[in-house]
Every structure is written in structure tokens, then in C-alpha cells.
Homo-oligomer: A and B are copies of this chain.
Amino acid sequence: MHEDRLRELRGEIDVINLQILELLTQRAQVVSAIGLVQQTLGTSFYDPEREAEMLTRLQQANEGPFSNETISALFNQIFRASLALEEEEALAKILVQRHYPDERTVIAMADGTEVGAGDFTVISGPCAIESAEQVDEVAGALAARGVRFLRGMGWKPRTSPYDFQGLGMEGLRIARQVANRHNMFIVSEVMDKSLISEMSEYVDVFWVGARNMSNTFLLKALGQVRQPVILKRSFGANIQEFLYAAEYIVSNGNPNVILMERGIRTFETRTRNTLDLSAVALLKLETHLPVVADISHSAGRRDIAIPLARATKAVGADGVMFECHPNPPVAMSDAKQQLSIPEMHALLDEIMDEQRVLA
């Protein structure tokens, strides 16, 4: 009986919903007519005084049960939607959103190498470029395993201004030579938009670090380069903010964005951050962009790198990033989390398809 009553009441709601929709549609038509008049008059679409006046009228008429604050919030939403209509904001459709189940952005490199097409991509290399020998040793070992994307960081964001900040352009030149020798792509962090132009000569894939995820001036500038961009999730950002950060790049003209989950800040201290593989699963539902996971900075320790790499692949990520150094204990940064070359081999043994290993 209660169920019957519930069904009946829900029917009433459905009717009211459609009546509201009908009124919203009527309203939009009047707003559209107003827009035409305003264009003739040369006045702005946005008119806060007028909105305040409408809200005041609604609040005077409101007899509950919604509070005046709630009514204001609801009508503000309606005002915003109307404003968007007026301004013909076709862009308001978020470009990074997946629109049908198998929609996917495949990043294609110059030689046809693809990210996001189904194969599991490995990105690796040392935390920072320290010397040509160091990068060459790691790059050679990775290339021999078929890894194509080499971390080649000239600039490192560091907490302290007195920590090693990277070799800068000199580092990039080293990385480029090494990458060319081993037929690899250079992935490199860009920390400010003023660096983009000079870096563009050396870098195959730009990398936006977690600390710059909300640097919208940088993101907009990266919307105008031809290289793909790896965008890291800030350790303090939620999934929605992460998607909108990508939207800043894509809506400015560069569709080739790879999302990188890298752990969020939580109260747990045994890992540096908490790798959020649920976010990877959700992102694969919500966006067509490729999604990879950084298992080095999230864990901050190498002893669980292999299980995390397996889990990253199993959860449906398009790839994994881990740091690899010829001699981790003497690394100038991130010593605790970089894998040695033998550890890298052990990890790849577990996540690479047999065919690839044989090939």
C-alpha cells in the first residue's frame, strides 16, 4: 500500500517536472527576444540589477517550504543558463567528456606510436636529468624493453628554493641527444608558459606537474602547442577539477591530453600519497582522454611498485609511469622511490604482454 502511494506521488512529480520544463522553454524564448532587443540597444546581456530585482520579487512571493536562499540559488541557476543561451555558449559542452561508451582520444606520435588505443603505455626514466651518462644508461635499458617514452626533466618543482632545481635547457639538450640515440620520445615538465617556445624544439610530450594543474595561464598556452600534454592531477584536486583543467587545454585548441593520476593527500603516512585507482576507473568512464597512473610519486617507495603497476593495468589505465635511475640511493631527488634497472626489468616482466616481451 505504501508502495502504491509512492508510485502515485511520483506520478505527480513527473507531471510537475514537465510543467516546469514547459515554463523554462517559454522563458527561454522570451529571454531570446530580450537578447535581440539588447543587441539593438547595445546593452550587456548580464544585468545584475535586473537579476536582483527578479530575486526580490520571487522572495516576496515565496511562502515556503523552500527558504529564500534556496529559491535564490535555483533561480540563479536559471539565470545563468539563460545567460549562457543568450551568449550562444556552444562551448559549454565540455569537450573532454565521453559522449558514447567507446569514444576515445588516441594520441598518435610522429612515427605512428599510439597512446590510448588499447596497448599499455610505459613512461619511465630518472626523476631529473643529472648527466648524459645517467640518462643514457637508463634510456638504453628501457629502449631494449620496448619502452618509448622517456622522462627527461630539465626543471623540477621543488619545495625548497635551495634544493636542486634541475639542469634547465642544458638538461633538455642532453635528453634530446639520448632520446634520439635510442629512438625514444622526450616527456618533459614545463613549469611556466614563458618556457614553452624554447622547450618546443626538444620536447615530444609536455608534462604539467601536479603543482601546476590549476595554473590556467599555462594550461591555456598549452592549448596552442602541437605536442601532446600529460596533465597530472594535483594531490589536492578532486576529479571534477582535474577534468576541467584538461578542458582548459582542449578548449584552447589542443585535443591531445593524457591524464595522469598520481595519488592524493590523505592522513595515511606510510605512503607519500594515496594512489586513487578508483579515480582511474571513473575517469575511464567519464572522459575519452587516455588515463595513466604514476606509481612512483603516489607511493613514494619502491617496494610496492610491482603490485601497484599490476593493479594500474588491471583497473583499465592506458599506461603507467614510474621513475628509474641507474643508482637510486645517490639520486639528487626522489631517492626512495626510483627503481633500479633490475627492478625495472622485474616490473616490466609483470605488466608487459608476452608477445611484446618476445618481440
Which residues of A does B touch, CB under 8 Å? Answer: 2-3, 5-6, 9-10, 12-14, 16-21, 23-34, 37-44, 46-52, 54-55, 57-58, 61-67, 69-78, 81, 84-85, 89-94, 130-131, 134, 157-164, 191-194, 211-212, 214-218, 220, 234-241, 244, 247-248, 251-252, 264-271, 274-282, 284-285, 298-299, 303-304, 307-308, 310-316, 327, 329-330, 332-333, 335-336
In the assembled complex, the Cα of A160 lies from the Cα of B93 at a distance in Å of 11
9 A-B pairs with the lowest CB-CB distances in the bound complex, closest first:
A236-B236, A314-B314, A211-B214, A192-B217, A311-B315, A265-B267, A281-B304, A310-B314, A281-B307
Report the separation of the CA atoms of residues A299 and B279 in the bound assembly, to the nearest whole angstrom.
10
Which residues of chain B are near A131, meaning CB under 8 Å? 48
Are B192's CB and A311's CB within 8 A?
Answer: no
Give how many copies assemble into the complex: 4
Given A9-B30, A308-B277, residue A164 in contact with residue B42 (CB < 8 A):
yes
Q: In the complex, what's the smallest C-beta–C-beta distance from A153 to chain B, in angstroms?
A: 14
A248 cross-chain contacts in B, Cβ below 8 A: 161
Q: Are B33 and A74 in contact (CB under 8 A)?
A: no
Contact in complex: B9, A33 (CB < 8 Å): yes
Least CB distance from A321 to B in Å reads: 15
Cβ-neighbour of A303 out of B49, B85, B252, B285 (below 8 A): B285
A33 to B5, CA, bound (A): 9
What are the residues of chain B within 8 A of A284 when measuring CB–CB?
307
Q: Do A23 and B25 touch (CB < 8 A)?
A: no
